[in-house]
Amino acid sequence: MRILGISGSPHADGNTARAVRYALARVESDETRYIGLSGKTINPCIGCFSCAKSHRCVFDDDMGEVYEAMRWCDALVLGSPVYMGMVSGQTKALMDRCVLFRPSYERRPRLSGKIGCGIACGGFRNGGQETTLQNIHTFLLQQNFKVINDGFPYSHAGGTVVGETLEDQLGLQTIDRLMDNLREMARG
């Protein structure tokens, strides 16, 4: 299985980057790929809908690499820091630019049927990890992903991290379970 992990944080080696890389390490026998949005230029969507006709975005920026990787993968692990109880602006820009995968004249969005899941990293307990995961899940649903949770035994919303990722043992457990469930769901 080809698994893509994306960190939507402005920090190259921050908590979200560490959480997503930790998730990928859990499935290292699969083919994995990591993209961090730190330092990347991803312009916000301007709603021109050129992509609906041309299949291309008017912006020639770093989203090109993300488009290619999203087509490539069988499963997507999308991580975001919690910003004001929601996804970061970087993550949201990526999500909006994925309108290109939803051409209205085709029966299904082009990412249909892939597995998708989320990881949210916040500074505080109850800081908005669940609402951030809801943002991620809504995006994945709109792209017709098969959205999964963190699996047995708790089966809650996905990966939830508080504070320093590698010191948050419970948070790491939610990621372990998320990735185990991802492989299980991929097996069918």
Contacts with ligand FMN by CB under 6 A lie at: 9, 11, 14-17, 81-85, 121-124, 127-128
Residue 188 Cβ vs ligand FMN, minimum distance, rounded to whole Å: 33
Report the residue number, 87 or 100, with the smaller CB distance to ligand FMN. Answer: 87
CA distance linking residue 55 with residue 52, whole number of Å = 6
First to last CA, the chain: 13
State both tokens at 85.
């109880």
Q: Does residue 59 sit in helix, strand or coil? A: coil
Judged by CB, which is closer to ligand FMN: 11, or 156? Answer: 11
The nearer residue to ligand FMN, 124 or 152, going by C-beta atoms, is: 124
To ligand FMN, the closest distance from the beta carbon of 121 in angstroms equals: 4
Name which of 89 and 103 has its Cβ closer to ligand FMN.
Answer: 89
* C-alpha pair distances (Å), 121 with each of 4, 11, 99: 18, 12, 25
- How many other C-beta atoms are found inside a 10 Å radius of the C-beta of residue 15? 26
Q: What is the DSSP letter of 44?
A: P
Least Å distance, CB 148 to ligand FMN, is: 22
Q: Which residue is nearest to ligand FMN (CB)?
A: 127
